[in-house]
Structure 1
Amino acid sequence: MGTSILIGLAILVFVAVVVIYNGLVNKNQMVKNGWADIDVQLKRRADLIPQLVTTVKGFAAHENSLFEDVVAKRGAALAAGDDPQARGAAESALSQPVARLVAVAEAYPELKSDQNFLDLQNELSDTENKIEMARRFFNGAVREMNTRVQSFPANLVAAMFGFREKAFFEIQTADRALPSVDFKGE
């Protein structure tokens, strides 16, 4: 009788560990999927930026420092890799000059009416919205994963199998502000 109770308890513990482990794997896959979605949109934005720079460059040749800043920060964002914290910081740094680039373009009426520029601007705006949606999904998946990794008894299983908390993909608050552009040169 005592042996069957111990066997029953062992089976119950084993089943609980398997269920918790599979839940952790599921949450981990959601985080990976969320990051892949963000990565796709960030690469799409990185591909649009050179086209936008080239289009604006023809109209605003005197903005060379802005173009150089955009190109340098785009390169840094692409080089940041798959670390959400490093990538978030690099993408935040890229957001400001890109917003300035779009604002500079607004000062040129002939550019604002250029269909290629308008198409690129619309694509960039659409991509920014998709990045925001992907970021929300990713951060939700990270929140669920981190909650699971920290909760008892899942934290015991997580520690046993090497599941760790994940970093959120965040942008800096200052980067959400509208860019200031001075066309008067004062």
Structure 2
Amino acid sequence: MKKSLTASVIVFIIILVSLFSIISSYNKLVTMDEQVTSSWKQVENLLQRRYDLIPNLVEVTKGYAKHEEEIFTQIAAARARIQDGGSREDLIGANNELSGALSRLLLVVENYPDLKANEQFIRLQDELAGTENRLAVSRQDYNRTVETYNKKIRRFPTSIIAKAFDFERHPYFEMDQNAKEAPKVKFN
């Protein structure tokens, strides 16, 4: 009788420890899953910031740069002609146009060193860089959180619990194929 009671107690303790282990693992997976969701929401928040901020800054900058619009148009047209290629003469002509437009722009900047548009362009550049840097850090944090979570649900014995409760892998934030080229800000 004593042996059977001891064996029952041992089995009960093993079941109790197993149950606590399962509950603990489940709760850890829930916490990690929420961390992944929270990290993704921060990425979305910064994507929204980019979406809201950049067009507004471009419009403000365009507004301040109205008096320079002709120069910007000439620079853009010359750059487009260079990009289109063509004969050697076409490229020389386009480069000469670009040089002339850039000279006029430099003259404007030299004549008006406190030009408001200059401040706006610097602000635009700083805001673009800041937003992109924040977004890069946020994507990195998200991917790190996803990595930790995905490893956890794939490791034994947690993988058994993850499968039993339908915890699935989260996708990494991967670079878009179009993102291999630097974005171009256009003022037209």
Pairwise TM-score range, normalised by the shorter structure: 0.5 to 0.7
Aligned match of 2:159: 155
Work out which of the residue numbers 23, 26, 32 in structure 2 matches 1:27. 32
- Structure 2, unmatched stretches of 5+, are 1-5, 77-101, 110-114
Could you list the runs of 5+ residues in structure 1 that have no partner in the other structure? 64-106, 182-186
1:45 matched to 2:54: no
Q: Provide closer, same or farther for how the CA distance between residues 114 and 26 of structure 1 changes in structure 2, counting only shifts above 3 A.
A: same
Instruction: Supply the distance in 2 between the matched residues of 1:171 and 1:142 (Cα, whole angstroms).
Output: 15
Among 112, 123, 126, the alignment partner of 2:127 is: 123
CA RMSD of the aligned region, Å?
Answer: 2.8
Compute the displacement of 1:114 (Å): 2.5
2:146, 2:171 within 8 Å by CA — same for their partners in 1? yes
**d(CA) in 1 for partners of 2:136 and 2:183?**
19
Give how far 1:143 is off.
Answer: 0.4
| CA distance in 1 between partners of 2:122 and 2:178 (Å) | 27
Match of 1:184 in 2: none
Identity among equivalent positions (%) equals 29
Whether the aligned pair in 1 keeps the contact of 2:46 and 2:131 (CA below 8 Å) is: yes
CA distance in 1 between partners of 2:9 and 2:73 (Å): 83
Runs ≥4 in structure 1, deviation > 6 angstroms?
none
Report the CA distance shift for 1:175/1:145 in structure 2 as closer, same or farther (over 3 A): same
* CA-CA distance at 1:6 after TM superposition: 1.6
Larger radius of gyration: 2
* One of 27, 41, 56 as aligned partner of 1:36: 41
Partners of 2:178 and 2:36 in 1: CA distance: 26
